[in-house]
Amino acid sequence: MEKTLTELNTGYLWHAGEFYEGNPGTVFPADCSEERFVEILKAADGCFRLALETEDLILAAVDRVRSLPLFYALKNGRLLLSMNAHDLRSRLGDPPLDEQALAEFLLAGYTCLGDTLVSDIKQLQAGQYLIWNKLSQSLRIGEYYVYRQQFEPLHDSLEALDQMHLRVFERLIQSANGRVLVVPLSGGLDSRLIAVMLKRLGYPKVICYTFGNSLHDEAVTSRKVAKFLNLPWLIVQQNRHMWYKAYRSEEMRRYFRFGTNLSSLPHVHDWLAIKTLLEREQIPSDAIIVPGHSGGFSQGAGLPLILANREELTRRELLDLILRDHYDLWPCANDQRHKLFGARVQESLQLPETIQTPIAASFYDEWDWRQRQSRLYVNSLRIYDFFGLDWRMPLWDMDYIGFWTRVPLDLRLGRELMNQYTRKYQSVPLPAYNDYPLGKKLHRRYQRAVSGNLSDQRYGRFLDYRDRNGYLHTKVSTLLAPNLAYPDFVNPDINILDANINAVQTLTYIRALASGELN
């Protein structure tokens, strides 16, 4: 167990003004009590996975957004801990997949709460810790943090937001210690914020990159932002054939096992870009990646706009919003979503019968934070881990999320406060990628209605574009594992090109899992 615990103890954190990296467990005393463990967790800031052992206890935790996952199981009165759920499954004798968890994974793209695709394997959720008493052989799961709105007054919000950004990025620069910071610069606001702040604070070693088609609107915006900021910019050109070949490689199979952990769909968005940049030696192997993953969440980017027009919601209405927005990879009747997952969401959130709208928004955020943000978006960090790169998450800094949990609902809906801030403090004269004029939005919608996802190069992962008939007409049924019973919302008779890209991604992972390719 000692060797395993040492391997699990990783990440970075700040505590009492000191920065700890690589082995953040050194912040805890050797004879750490449960009370002291939780006290330090509440005060610590950063991204970490911790596992400590005293004479009587094993204590373990993940950070506030589960950036480094931790899985556990019980076997013959012993606690098994691992950073990889596939390894735990092997140690348990390869138990079968859980039918309910499979349905959730296929409809959401991840398993929720503490579950994985195997019922005997659990995981710590964001902001949770575990205590294993070796004498009584008893396990307890606790919470040291929950993402909730604070409903505290916020004064001079734009100035306060700017001062918060300065503190967050000064800490980032301090932790970088002169190493190259690599920003995956999309056309959106979050990665732009990172690039702007690093430029503003004068950090000299910044590289921006993007990938895909250089003529695509997002890549064009990325290049223009980098040029305006006078920052080095790289693009990794990609096409369907490159993706088709990469997706079938042994290296991708290893990544599937490494990055999915029986609980998240295989995130491959910039897998090929990172691989290519390292092979070309365009970024150093000791670089730190600084993505803007899910930064818009705290700002209110995902909140349903219907909340702007309501004073209160019923429990059923809020459940409808959560289930509709988070279980959406396949067309599924609302009543079926409630039957499958409604009680599960209600049990977790403990929703009252009638809920004032600001509190309803806080409940919505709480589910989104602990499930989709941590399991889907933040889990994309596994790409950087797979290639041996360090990373930082400034948009999940305690100061950052602490600020946004105090912002009133009307300033978060539609990212209102962030948009005001961008206009005042970010003098980059370029609209964000999603800010299309109405005419272009309607034209793109018409194209999708006529040709589906034919123009979306990402489907080249699954289909060989050189076989035109196969590319256009291969059915979802070809992706199903023959020895599994799939939920009825999975439609085997539609073309792969007509299915949601993430739904297809989950099917390819489940098939690889069921076939034994990931053993």
pLDDT at 436: 53
Which parts of the chain register pLDDT below 70?
Answer: 1-4, 433-452
- 3-class SS at 233? strand
Tokens of 342: 């409604």
Q: Residue 199: its pLDDT value, please?
A: 97
Q: In whole angstroms, give the CA distance from residue 8 to residue 62.
A: 10
Determine the pLDDT at residue 218. Answer: 85
Whole-number Å distance between alpha carbons of 373 and 303 = 13
Distance CA 395, CA 400 (A): 6
How do the domains of the chain map onto residue ranges?
2-143, 157-298+381-425, 304-372, 441-514
As a whole number of angstroms, the distance between CA 187 and CA 222 comes to: 5
Distance, CA of 442 to CA of 446 (rounded, Å): 6
410: Cβ contacts below 8 Å, ≥ 6 apart: 308, 416
| Pair of tokens at residue 134 | 């070796």
The model's pTM: 0.94
Which CATH number applies to 157-298+381-425? Answer: 3.40.50.620
* N residues, the chain: 519
- Look at residues 337, 323, 262, 325 and name the one whose alpha carbon lies nearest to residue 487: 337
Q: How many CA atoms lie within 13 A of 502 on its CB side?
A: 18
491, burial (CB in 10 Å: exposed 0-12, middle 13-18, buried 19+) = middle
pLDDT for the residue numbered 8: 92
Tell which phi-psi region holds residue 390, choosing left (phi > 0), alpha (psi between -120 and 50) or beta: beta
